[in-house]
């Protein structure tokens, strides 16, 4: 609803509308914050009402620890983002539209995480994809934004279809079509034979949405969007929808060999690829984008790891990531806004000019780097505690996590520290601190990251524990605190930090090395996407060329062959051929009329001239009309007369317009084919009619019409009463079709007339 009001408000209040619009998400935030205590106690809130009762579709919601934390993140960060975009797009002519889109997205995302019924989940899932498409393509005058928007839509849209199929399979396997019933169903899904299908399909949905390798390419491209969008959709919320889905299904689908192999594998690869590609970038936003890909990989890996501690780690990291990544994106946008560049090489020494931004960036970077006292540190400790183990699998996972985290540490400081220290760089614009609207968001988020770390028991009680319980499917209490404990996790953390510092210091060299590596590989999924789209276009062009040859005679032949086959084949196959009819006595005049029809047909076949053929066809038509008249169907015969007359007139007109040769020259083979097809059609219809008359005739309807025509509809002409009264709606539809067909034909004639005229004038030119 706020989305509707946004454009109007913005027109009146200019960028200050942000203050008013931010009230909407804030209200949602407070509303859900009010539920915190209930949910923390281990309860869940649900409700709903019937939507399409006959299909069992309910509009229902379900709030437990998982959805509540998501809802709070979405509305809380949403509030800050709306304020931030108020400053970021200040003076932009389409700011109102932007607000509208972003609030639309927020609504969809809230719906997604709160949805209980599968259908709602899917609908809101698709809505977030659409909102994301609109927001990425917000700057629709640029080719790159349009491409990125389309790419994101195609990838996430495909994933959405996979999700729909997956949800249907789940519903088939368990009979549940609401999350709450599914979660209560226990082992039903895991033991179902459809488990693998549901698993693959749901992963398809989750992996595309959460940009897992090899679908990660759309996310960095989506950085074409304005920065508030990148911060909100493409780091803090929307891309986490896939993770949400996995977490949601963890209690009923997790704990199987497939789940615990595929998820950590894809997650781990994504983590490595993401961080390595991030190091290569020199654009602040792109660096962050790739670390987002990496973080999502980490989350997927943890979700799939199976142990309780891993779930706790995933939960902690998810919350921490939303806060520090959102903040860092906003910092990057702020730097871009104030200095005019996002290139890390030309940014340095901004600390004096932008002290508040510096504070926010540094705090966020510390959290992302996982240093003590910050919420990110808790997450990292928990991650290492979860992964540490002695078997191969755990060691590999730990290694991946250490490398990934170290590189992310480096990136965090490259974004949050590097632009601010050192001598002043050669940025295009002279930097100064941004307005309140711009720095409020990142600062609040960054401070939240610190506060959540400092008051961790409180945060655990309210967020982490309920959420982890919901993901694990059983009560779990998160207990980690910011005071470092000696042990393996801490050692790994220290190692990470050391490696990270090394990577930070050597980032220029690393960047060059990675760049050359990527160049040698040369091909990536991004290019693959383009190639497959091109291949699709080429394929459809080829298919169109075959199916739509543009030659009327081929279309007609195909249609008639299909008609003949569809009648004859079932008749022969099911032995439903009609019995030979008994020959009754004909009246003389009936025979005469039939003879006239036959003569007319003969004339058609032997006519040398097209016009003669058309007129002869008319003879046959009139003979049939006469037969109708004789057999007692005056209405039908009347109509037949008029239709015949008009079709002769119109056909004659068309034929003369077409400028065809007066007589026809078809090769013998073509003639034989045409004769066969027409004979088959005639035979098929003849047999069908015979069969129909031989079946017992159900005269319920005709008796009803006979009795009621006069009584209900006040008419003696049953045919007409049926047309205008009993079947009035059909007639209304028919006349609408008549009119539309008329319009279409008219348009066709006009187009052809123009083309024809041009062709003729060209021919005359050539002749001259």
The span from the CA of 734 to the CA of 581, in Å, is 35
Handedness of CA 180, 184, 186, 189 (dihedral sign): negative
For helices 143-174 and 195-209, the axis angle rounded to 10 degrees is: 160
Round to whole Å and give the CA distance between 299 and 301.
5
Q: Which of 73, 82, 130 is nearest to 103 (CA)?
A: 82
**Residue among 595 and 740 whose Cβ is closer to another protein:** 740
Question: In this structure, what DSSP letter does residue 192 have?
Answer: S
Residue closer to another protein by CB (options 180, 639) is 639
The burial of 189, by beta-carbon neighbours within 10 Å (0-12 exposed, 13-18 middle, 19 or more buried), is given as: buried
CB of 707 to another protein, least distance (A): 16
Q: Give me the least distance between CB of 723 and another protein, in Å please.
A: 6
Nearer Cβ to another protein, position 670 or 717? 717
| Best CA proximity match to 441, nearest among 78, 158, 175, 718 | 78
**In what helix (H) or strand (E) does residue 57 lie, and over which residues does it extend?**
strand 57-63
Minimum CB separation of residue 641 from another protein in Å reads: 9
Nearer to another protein, 569 or 745 (CB): 745
Instruction: Provide, rounded to whole angstroms, the least separation between the CB of residue 156 and another protein.
Output: 41
Annotate 251-261 with b (16+ C-beta within 10 A) or e (fewer).
bbbbebeebbe
Which pair of tokens denotes residue 29?
Answer: 């935030």
- Give min distance, CB of 642 to another protein, in A: 3
> How far is it, in rounded angstroms, from Cα 59 to Cα 111?
10
Residue 239: closest CA among 156, 319, 307, 309: 156
If the CB atoms of residues 536 and 749 are measured against another protein, the closer one turns out to be 749
Find out whether the peptide bond into 438 is cis, omega within 30 degrees of 0: no
Closer Cβ to another protein, 156 or 637, answer by number: 637
Cβ 737 to another protein shortest distance, Å:
10
Q: Which is nearer to another protein, 548 or 717 (CB)?
A: 717
Cβ–Cβ under 8 Å, residues 662 and 643: no
> How near is the Cβ of 635 to another protein at its closest, in Å?
5
d(CA 239, CA 731): 51
User: Minimum CB separation from another protein for residue 637, in Å?
Assistant: 9
CB of 709 to another protein, least distance (A): 10
Is 50 or 635 the residue whose CB approaches another protein more closely? 635
Q: What is the 3-state secondary structure (H, E, C) of 356-425?
A: HHHHHHHHHHHHHHCCCCCHHHHHHHHHHHHHCCCCHHHHHHHHHHHHHHHHHHHHHHHHHCCCCCCCCC
Q: In this complex, which beta carbon is closest to another protein, that of residue 474 or of residue 635? A: 635
Positions in the binding site for another protein (CB under 8 A) = 634-635, 638-639, 642-643, 645-646, 649-650, 653-654, 656-657, 713-717, 719-721, 723-725, 728-729, 731-732, 735-736, 738-739, 741-743, 745-746, 749-750, 753, 757
């Amino acid at each position: 609803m706020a989305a509707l009001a946004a454009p109007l408000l913005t027109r009146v209040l200019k960028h200050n509308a942000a203050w008013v619009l931010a009230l909407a998400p804030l209200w949602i935030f407070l509303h859900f914050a009010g539920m915190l205590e209930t949910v923390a106690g281990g309860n869940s809130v649900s409700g709903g009402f019937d939507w399409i009762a006959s299909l069992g579709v309910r509009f229902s919601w379900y709030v437990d620890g998982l959805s509540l934390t998501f809802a709070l993140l979405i509305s809380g960060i949403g509030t800050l983002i709306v304020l931030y975009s108020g400053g970021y797009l200040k003076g932009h002519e389409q700011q109102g539209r932007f607000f509208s889109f972003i609030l639309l997205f927020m609504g969809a995302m809230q719906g997604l995480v709160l949805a209980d019924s599968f259908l709602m989940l899917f609908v809101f899932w698709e809505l977030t994809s659409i909102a994301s498409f609109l927001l990425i393509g917000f700057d629709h005058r640029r080719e790159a934004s349009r491409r990125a928007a389309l790419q994101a839509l195609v990838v996430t849209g495909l994933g959405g279809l996979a999700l729909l199929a997956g949800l249907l399979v789940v519903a088939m396997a368990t009979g549940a079509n609401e999350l709450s019933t599914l979660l209560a169903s226990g082992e039903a899904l895991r033991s179902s034979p459809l488990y693998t299908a549901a698993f693959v399909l749901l992963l398809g949905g989750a992996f595309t949405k959460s940009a897992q390798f090899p679908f990660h390419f759309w996310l960095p491209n989506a950085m074409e969007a304005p920065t508030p969008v990148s911060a909100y959709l493409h780091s803090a919320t929307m891309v986490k929808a896939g993770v949400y889905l996995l977490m949601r299904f963890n209690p009923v689908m997790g704990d199987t060999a497939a789940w615990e192999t595929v998820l950590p594998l894809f997650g781990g690869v994504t983590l490595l690829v993401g961080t390595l590609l991030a190091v290569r970038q020199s654009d602040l936003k792109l660096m962050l984008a790739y670390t987002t890909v990496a973080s999502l990989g980490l989350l997927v890996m943890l979700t799939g790891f199976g142990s309780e501690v891993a779930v706790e780690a995933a939960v902690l990291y998810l919350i921490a990531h939303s806060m520090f990544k959102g903040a860092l994106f906003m910092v990057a946008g702020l730097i871009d806004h104030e200095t005019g560049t996002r290139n890390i090489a030309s940014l340095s020494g901004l600390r004096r000019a932008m002290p508040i931004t510096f504070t926010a960036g540094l705090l966020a970077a510390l959290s992302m780097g996982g240093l003590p006292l910050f919420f990110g540190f808790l997450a990292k400790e928990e991650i290492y505690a979860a992964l540490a183990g002695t078997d191969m699998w755990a060691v590999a996972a730990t290694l991946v996590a250490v490398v990934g985290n170290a590189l992310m540490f480096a990136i965090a400081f490259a974004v949050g520290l590097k632009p601010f220290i050192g001598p002043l760089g050669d940025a295009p614009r002279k930097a100064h601190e941004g307005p309140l609207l711009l720095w409020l968001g990142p600062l609040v988020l960054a401070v939240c990251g610190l506060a959540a770390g400092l008051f961790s028991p409180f945060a655990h009680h309210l967020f982490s524990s309920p959420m982890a319980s919901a993901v694990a499917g059983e009560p779990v209490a998160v207990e980690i605190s910011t005071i470092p404990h000696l042990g393996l996790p801490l050692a790994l953390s220290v190692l990470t930090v050391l490696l990270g510092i090394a990577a930070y210091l050597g980032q220029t060299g690393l960047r060059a090395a990675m760049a050359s590596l990527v160049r040698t590989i040369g091909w990536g999924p991004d290019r693959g996407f383009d190639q497959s789209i091109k291949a699709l276009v080429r394929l459809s062009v080829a298919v169109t060329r075959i199916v739509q040859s543009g030659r009327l005679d081929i279309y007609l032949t195909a249609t008639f062959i299909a008609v003949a086959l569809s009648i004859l084949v079932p008749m022969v196959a099911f032995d439903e051929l009609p019995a030979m009819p008994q020959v009754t006595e004909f009246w003389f005049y009936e025979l005469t009329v039939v003879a006239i029809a036959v003569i007319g047909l003969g004339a058609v076949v032997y006519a040398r001239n097209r016009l003669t053929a058309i007129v002869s066809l008319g003879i046959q038509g009139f003979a049939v009309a006469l037969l109708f008249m004789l057999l007692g169907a005056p209405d039908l015969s009347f109509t037949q007369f008029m239709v015949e007359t008009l079709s002769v007139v119109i056909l004659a007109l068309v034929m003369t317009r077409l400028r065809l040769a007066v007589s026809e020259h078809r090769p013998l083979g073509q003639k034989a084919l045409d004769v066969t097809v027409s004979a088959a059609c005639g035979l098929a219809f003849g047999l069908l009619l015979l069969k129909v008359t031989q079946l017992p005739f159900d005269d319920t309807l005709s008796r009803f019409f006979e009795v009621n025509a006069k009584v209900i509809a006040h008419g003696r002409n049953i045919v007409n009463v049926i047309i205008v009264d009993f079947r009035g709606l059909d007639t209304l539809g028919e006349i609408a079709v008549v009119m539309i067909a008329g319009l279409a034909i008219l348009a066709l004639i006009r187009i052809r007339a123009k083309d024809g005229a041009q062709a003729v004038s060209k021919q005359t030119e050539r002749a001259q």
